[in-house]
Structure 1
């Protein structure tokens, strides 16, 4: 079986700018382990002739091909990182190639927010694929996707590997920095340096709830919060609502808030923070959470998927999130080893090399192509 996966290249790209680039690479790691997969090519829907440098360094032999040159190179196409031309998809499907739309973004918000706000976005003809693959975080939207795309929707496992974090760790440590949580004695309250990495381009992942939780913890125990570092936020500084909210925070009034641009997780944590707090809405599988757990950092989150690891608070329960921060400041270091063992056990289940993940993706691919073979062998 020959597989093509769409990617969207652009100038200055990095795997740290969003999770999708890493999702694609983890899938490639899995597919390369399957014995029936003969080759994998990346279908370049962008304007560059190379991958992000982090991905290229780890897989320099991974071919990047314009879709129009790949019709004879693929048996299955996964539209994942870049939108493929529908005329080309019609052409390859007519030749028996199977097309899967691997929907990694939150599908409802991807439609609704852009319709309501009027912001430009990419949207393609719904009836362009043979199947949809989704992650567990989007299970609630299966009926919507089936109605919109008029084809079967299948859930596949979320994948994660430490390969990008470990490579970046080596780079920051070569520069004299240290990545990974360093517990203290636990005998006194730790002044937390809390970071939030939400993209702040959608209600799906936004910094507002974490900011309020940090402020609630600070007002309850000022010694517990030394700094609140809000990434991807400088563009909102002059927005009246955000400015008003920021000015109302006790943390801001005491000069303990840092607004910043985007930074990669490893570099930021190795310099500026020791605790991570997050919030999501119907998007509870995020690579950031897993990178934080891998580094041993206390992670305050509201992801039901991750309820057994980190510090989970339900929905938008700000007092519960603030209570977790206070607990981390006072108690976490005493149980840090247990925290890390629980995190390690969870992460191991997400490996692209884990047998249950390999078998699940193998079944989906074989079922997809078996249907194609049956159709080809049916007499007219």
Structure 2
């Protein structure tokens, strides 16, 4: 017996490019992984109340060989419906359930933290619960600590950890199609004698991922080793540069006063790495895995990070959570030692990328187990 799986998929003004966010990419990789399971016949994207003709070519459906259907077209043949980037509505869930489909919510965001922020500041856009019923919630590892209870109690469905998946297919495609010169990848010895170009690319939309601690790390590094720090780029900060929290913060740093630290607009990570970056300096709070990290490591860029999950894979240069002094030590360590240990870093990076692959047999098997737990016959 074989089964068909639908994954809900959203597109629109807020999501019209595969580089707009990681959640959309995650759905592509989920499809790839599920297709490797014996007994899975077809995996496709599902939508409703949208215009298929308005899907942008920048979403790369053709590259991934993805079929996308209006819900009514596949409602009678779908055995498992996974809530992906398009939020399920109770009436849609009920119609699939009438036909015997199992319903899964796939959670990628740090919803509980973001909803707390919105509650405290009275902001719109809370990921409200709408009454949709699920047979299971599949949750990526980096949000289990903060979100498991939130989702399990509110949905009354069991939460299971699902492997985080990534593949360089979109990055490799960009390398082939981008018009301007695109030399992605760290070249051994590329850090110049007058110091390293350090980039910070956190989105700055939440306490979960922002530039506040990297500013401290960069400032401390520049104060004590001005000869080793050529420039520090703070991406995604230009629109915040006049806010008191940033203006009165970086304005007092030696690096800004010397013109070494600058605010920048938003950039697509691989393009900015290729043109402006020797080292990626990152910060996260309870979001220890991120596609930005994988992109940097795939290009063998030195990554200075505070992710325990990446530390477990022995990649990059780990500093202890909020310890900016340790972060400074690791940044300087990366500048001084990376080229000498380059081959070791390359091998460890490759092992991590293989571990995250949708085609990794471990990942395929874990998804098969998750399907079997739903009670579907494979």
**TM-score for both structures, normalised by structure 2:** 0.92
Q: Is the CA contact (8 Å cut-off) linking 1:15 and 1:22 kept in structure 2?
A: yes
Q: 1:98-113 maps to which residues of 2 (within 5 A)?
A: 98-113=102-117
Cα distance in 2 for partners of 1:199, 1:47 equals 28
CA deviation after TM superposition for structure 1 residue 369, in Å: 3.3
CA deviation after TM superposition for structure 1 residue 142, in Å: 2.2
Among candidates 165, 171, 175, match of residue 159 of structure 1: 165
Equivalent residue number for residue 90 of structure 1: 94
Instruction: Please tell me whether residue 231 in structure 1 is matched to residue 214 in structure 2.
Output: no
Equivalent residue number for residue 27 of structure 2: 24
Cα distance in 2 for partners of 1:234, 1:280 equals 20
Instruction: Please tell me whether residue 13 in structure 1 is matched to residue 19 in structure 2.
Output: no
Other structure's SS at 2:231 match = strand
Equivalent residue number for residue 271 of structure 1: 275
Among candidates 205, 208, 212, match of residue 209 of structure 2: 205
Instruction: Please tell me whether residue 124 in structure 1 is matched to residue 129 in structure 2.
Output: yes
Q: Is the CA contact (8 Å cut-off) linking 2:90 and 2:132 kept in structure 1?
A: no
Other structure's SS at 1:102 match = strand
Equivalent residue number for residue 327 of structure 1: 333
Other structure's SS at 2:375 match = helix
Instruction: Please tell me whether residue 347 in structure 1 is matched to residue 331 in structure 2.
Output: no
Q: 1:161-310 maps to which residues of 2 (within 5 A)?
A: 161-172=167-178, 175-184=180-189, 191-307=195-311, 308-310=314-316
Other structure's SS at 2:171 match = helix
* Post-superposition CA distance 1:190-241 (Å, at most 9, x none): 6111111111111111111111111110011111111111111112111111
Q: How many pairs were matched up?
A: 368
Equivalent residue number for residue 369 of structure 2: 363
Cα distance in 2 for partners of 1:292, 1:239 equals 29
Q: Is the CA contact (8 Å cut-off) linking 2:251 and 2:257 kept in structure 1?
A: yes
Equivalent residue number for residue 337 of structure 1: 343
Cα distance in 2 for partners of 1:288, 1:112 equals 24
Q: Is the CA contact (8 Å cut-off) linking 2:304 and 2:334 kept in structure 1?
A: no
Cα distance in 2 for partners of 1:190, 1:170 equals 32
Other structure's SS at 1:194 match = strand
Equivalent residue number for residue 378 of structure 1: none
Cα distance in 1 for partners of 2:232, 2:96 equals 51
Among candidates 132, 138, 149, match of residue 133 of structure 1: 138
* Post-superposition CA distance 1:117-159 (Å, at most 9, x none): 2221142325521110111112223233221111111111111
Cα distance in 2 for partners of 1:185, 1:267 equals 17
Q: Is the CA contact (8 Å cut-off) linking 2:9 and 2:45 kept in structure 1?
A: yes
Among candidates 311, 319, 323, match of residue 317 of structure 2: 311
Q: Is the CA contact (8 Å cut-off) linking 1:9 and 1:48 kept in structure 2?
A: no
CA deviation after TM superposition for structure 1 residue 334, in Å: 1.0
Q: Is the CA contact (8 Å cut-off) linking 2:31 and 2:44 kept in structure 1?
A: no
Equivalent residue number for residue 43 of structure 2: 40
> CA, structure 1 residues 45+8, in 2 after alignment: closer, same or farther (shift >3 Å)?
farther
- Aligned Cα RMSD in Å? 1.9
> CA, structure 1 residues 261+65, in 2 after alignment: closer, same or farther (shift >3 Å)?
farther
Structure 1 residues 131-140 or 300-309, which shifts more? 131-140
> CA, structure 1 residues 46+244, in 2 after alignment: closer, same or farther (shift >3 Å)?
farther
Other structure's SS at 1:100 match = strand
- What are structure 1's unaligned runs of at least 5 residues? 374-380
CA deviation after TM superposition for structure 1 residue 44, in Å: 2.6
Q: Is the CA contact (8 Å cut-off) linking 1:300 and 1:312 kept in structure 2?
A: yes
Q: Is the CA contact (8 Å cut-off) linking 1:7 and 1:46 kept in structure 2?
A: no
**TM-score for both structures, normalised by structure 1:** 0.91
Structure 1 residues 315-324 or 257-266, which shifts more? 257-266
* Post-superposition CA distance 1:263-319 (Å, at most 9, x none): 111111111111101111111111111111000000011110000111111111111
Cα distance in 1 for partners of 2:351, 2:43 equals 30
Cα distance in 2 for partners of 1:126, 1:146 equals 14
Q: Is the CA contact (8 Å cut-off) linking 2:89 and 2:132 kept in structure 1?
A: no
- What are structure 2's unaligned runs of at least 5 residues? none
